[in-house]
Amino acid sequence: MRPGDPSLVLEATVGETLPTHTKTLRLCFLGCEENPPYGPTEHTANLFLELLRETLSDQCKVGGDRWDIYIEIFRVQLGQYPTNWDIYDGIILPGSFSAAYDTVDWIETLKQVIQTEIVAKQRSTMGICFGHQIIAHSFESGMARKHSPGSRGGRYSMSTTEAGSKLFSGTDINFFYSHGDMVEKIPPSAIALGHDPLDNLPVQSAAYFKNENEAQQFASGDISVKPFAITFQAHPEYAVSRDLGLEFTLSRILTEMAKRKAISSDAEAIAQKDASDNFDMVHQQSKDVFATSAKVLGWFS
């Protein structure tokens, strides 16, 4: 396997057997975690494949289309990156047990790649948890750090900013989370879409633009200006299904967090029950926000 080759390509077809139109979505997946329960990379990518399959299935019912989806996996911890970035409709930068501020070689390389391939060329990107943090941390004026109140796992609500409320059509959005770090600052070319002032989280979601002027235009309500990246501290992929997302991923991560004493056993028990009881609500809200973000990024055009 050469460094520029995807280690695996996941495929799915969604929609009509006799479609009005056949469309293709090809995504680059920069996998950042090999260890379960969030990893290995194939497992993480499958969560997003299922989320894409479900959101596009809803769209196909309306438009009579068929979508061929390809997710090409690169293991960035092993130094794997595309040799031709231009063939992709978008990039997914998912979570990791590592920290964006760690000074290990693969993270330093990833920060450089973010700046040279994603930011400089404005490639359509969605960042999740670690991806949310490292995109911010790759800027000199951005910063990720530990979440001072401590690690969080389970269901929490994101309060949208004025721009986030317009984009996502809601003021409080429920997601599933598992994190010990946070984004403290974003660059002037980005704006916050969501935050949690009660839990000291100033940036739970962000949108990144070509420059500060475009960011301010979007913030003032000019939706004709499109971001090239949208990021979330939350994990919308945990809500893809009760089996793959909740039981096989989030539930195991909460157990692992308690085992590592990142959260207490009592907090784990409460989070497990709450996640199960409120799964349907989180599933719908996560899917809606993911679909909106993908459309804004141009993935579903």
Residue of 81, 205, 68 whose CA lies nearest to 135? 205
DSSP 123: -
52: pLDDT confidence band, cut at 50, 70 and 90? Answer: very high
301: pLDDT confidence band, cut at 50, 70 and 90? Answer: confident
Residue of 221, 230, 147, 133 whose CA lies nearest to 185? 133
Q: Whole-prediction pTM value?
A: 0.95
Q: What is the pLDDT of residue 64?
A: 73
Question: What rounded mean pLDDT belongs to the chain?
Answer: 94
Q: How far apart are CA 28 and CA 31, in angstroms?
A: 9
Give the pLDDT mean for 224-229. 95
Q: How far apart are CA 10 and CA 71, in angstroms?
A: 5
Q: Where are the domains of the chain?
A: 8-296
Backbone angles phi, psi at 127, to 5 degrees: -110, 135
Give the pLDDT mean for 55-66. 77
Element (H, E) at 194: strand 190-196
Contacts of 220 (CB under 8 A, 6+ apart): none
Amino acid at 50: E
pLDDT for 273 beyond 70:
yes
Q: How far apart are CA 113 and CA 81, in angstroms?
A: 9
pLDDT for 199 beyond 90:
no
CB 246 within 8 A of CB 153: no
For residues 208, 169, 127, 191, the Cα torsion angle rounded to the nearest 10 degrees is 30
CB 218 within 8 A of CB 209: yes
Q: How far apart are CA 150 and CA 199, in angstroms?
A: 10
1: pLDDT confidence band, cut at 50, 70 and 90? Answer: very low
Q: How far apart are CA 219 and CA 238, in angstroms?
A: 29
Q: What is the pLDDT of residue 193?
A: 97
Q: Look at domain 8-296 and name its CATH class.
A: alpha beta
